[in-house]
Chain A
């Protein structure tokens, strides 16, 4: 066969202008702030706020004590204020009664990853508030693993979803959406395309329609991972915040923005999450579970403003 070298004419004949569709979507997400910038900032009128997903970001300078230990009284106050604000109530008790009823069986789905666990201070506060709603103690459980063998969780009528935010080696970010993966018998079956379709877990009968509150703990988020264990103290910082919302996509989307902003600040250049947390984006655009678009999120910022990043 005659050898043919590439000529410029070959290229001009074949040149076309066409997008790499997947790359465009994901390059927008992977571009970090570019993704945020790509969405219109928009102006927030009263009517536009009403149609948005509300997310509360609360921070407190005093929430961490020595050795980054969570101060129970401070985090309790933060959670109460955030929940009250989320529901527009004067106090947390009234707010909680809007989502938990005495006849509920409540599973508090936490996260016990050894390097960055939710922690008993937050877990116990959430449990107290559930009990305050009149739920009997034997109808409230706190767990991360073994959920499918736990009758309280398989039979729960309400779930409280709580976990720390961190980068994740395969999903880009571990957040509220991913926290429900323990309702799947074999979690690795959702690893395809960097966990793109984690939102499908929220269609499972054990989960669907039951999550009453999402809490993404941003006290000491992990913003970069190294090695198989994906953890280093070097990449954790004292953000001292909590994100709360009814829309897990909106909560996670806000968490992604904070992590990406921190990475930009720390590395001194744009360093998108690797891999990109596109499951958050697809939870919106592909699965319609909630909104990932900052322009459609009513983000209420409370408390300590320094180092907010977004």
Chain B
């Protein structure tokens, strides 16, 4: 742990754009103590298996502070994932992916996610944040891999600005509320992407496509049954016995209409569950599901 702390300290510069760090005031937080620092937001980073957070303030006379929060996410997949939790802003050309908005620069590189924040936004502060970010990205060094799940998304759902990678159902619900219960059996061992496609009715009603990879076919099958049971209790109950006997069957699918008049389609194939939410018509739901499942056969 001491070595990792020292390693992280070395990744942040001591000065940028006239703002200077006071390293003696550096603070470290772990998954237990992060709530002392950022309250409920700590749950986001815990949902992505974060290991350690280094928080450092930079000061400049006559200016508001800059705050650097360097998260060791333990893997590039989770660094990417936590980056996708908040995708607001313009690409800033830092790290492997970055956003700048409202005095906040966030980016990821390798196993690290970094948030750089100006307590009062100004052009000077923005330039200092960018300088800080570039220096930290350089210090981190090599790039990390992105989740392989992204390559399974249909072409028209591959807008990285609207795609979230995650493991747990609270994060799914944050981006698109499905259920207060974990009806898709999400957890640390699952990987999921949620992608959006702009719909005819506007951004607020665009279709969502969720693709979830489970450790094995049985887990995927059970998740599919759970989702169908929660979504269509009448039909799902009648089919439970038959469905459970068919676990391991290569492919299964269901379609249903929600109370808001939109369509949901769900399918399971091998160790993957695919769900289309908020399709305006049944045909559209089927079409998206078919394309997504067909894509699972790609080498």
Is B234 in the interface zone, CB < 8 Å from A?
yes
Contact B235 A14 (CB under 8 A): yes
* Interface of chain B, main secondary structure: mixed
> With A and B bound together, what is the CA distance between A3 and B269 in angstroms?
11
1/0 per position for A20-47, CB-CB distance to B under 8 A?
1111101100100000000000000000
Is A226 in the interface zone, CB < 8 Å from B?
yes
Binds B, one of A58-66, A190-198, A209-217, A243-251: A190-198
Contact B43 A26 (CB under 8 A): no
Contact A227 B204 (CB under 8 A): no
> With A and B bound together, what is the CA distance between A171 and B44 in angstroms?
12
Of A11, A23, A171, A274, which is in contact with the most chain B CB atoms at under 10 Å from its CB? A23
Q: Can you add 13 more A-B contacts, CB < 8 Å, to A171-B40, A229-B69?
A: A6-B267, A6-B293, A11-B265, A11-B282, A11-B286, A18-B256, A18-B257, A19-B259, A23-B178, A168-B39, A168-B40, A228-B41, A276-B177
Is B86 in the interface zone, CB < 8 Å from A?
yes
Is A234 in the interface zone, CB < 8 Å from B?
yes
Name the residue of chain A whose CB is nearest to the CB of B101.
A226
Q: Which of A20, A235, A270 contacts B258 (CB 8 A)?
A: A20
Supply 19 A–B pairs (Cβ within 8 Å), ascending by A.
Answer: A1-B250, A10-B253, A15-B282, A17-B256, A18-B256, A21-B230, A22-B180, A23-B178, A26-B173, A168-B39, A170-B43, A170-B44, A188-B40, A194-B170, A226-B89, A228-B38, A232-B103, A234-B102, A270-B204
Known: A170-B40, A188-B43. A226 touches B102 (CB 8 A): yes
Is A233 in the interface zone, CB < 8 Å from B?
yes
1/0 per position for A166-181, CB-CB distance to B under 8 A?
0011110000000000
Is B251 in the interface zone, CB < 8 Å from A?
yes
State how many residues of chain A have any CB contact under 8 Å with chain B: 48
Contact A187 B253 (CB under 8 A): no
> With A and B bound together, what is the CA distance between A18 and B236 in angstroms?
11
Chain A contacts to B: CB under 8 angstroms: 1, 3-6, 8, 10-11, 14-24, 26-27, 30, 168-171, 187-188, 191-196, 226-230, 232-235, 269-270, 274-276
Of A229, A233, A274, which is in contact with the most chain B CB atoms at under 10 Å from its CB? A229
Q: CB-CB < 8 A to A188: which residues of B? A: 35, 40, 42-43
> With A and B bound together, what is the CA distance between A170 and B168 in angstroms?
14
> With A and B bound together, what is the CA distance between A6 and B288 in angstroms?
12
Q: How far is the CB of B225 from chain A (nearest CB, A)?
A: 13
Contact B260 A24 (CB under 8 A): yes
> With A and B bound together, what is the CA distance between A276 and B248 in angstroms?
37
CB interface residues, B 34-90, toward A, < 8 Å? 35, 38-45, 67, 69, 86, 88-89
Name the residue of chain B whose CB is nearest to the CB of A32.
B204
Known: A26-B177, A226-B86. A16 touches B290 (CB 8 A): no
Q: How far is the CB of A212 from chain B (nearest CB, A)?
A: 26
Which 7 residue pairs are nearest across A and B when measured between Cβ atoms?
A170-B40, A22-B179, A169-B41, A232-B102, A19-B259, A26-B177, A234-B102
Q: CB-CB < 8 A to B253: which residues of A? A: 6, 10-11, 14
Of A4, A196, A230, A232, which is in contact with the most chain B CB atoms at under 10 Å from its CB? A232
Contact B177 A23 (CB under 8 A): yes
Contact B117 A229 (CB under 8 A): yes
Contact A227 B173 (CB under 8 A): no
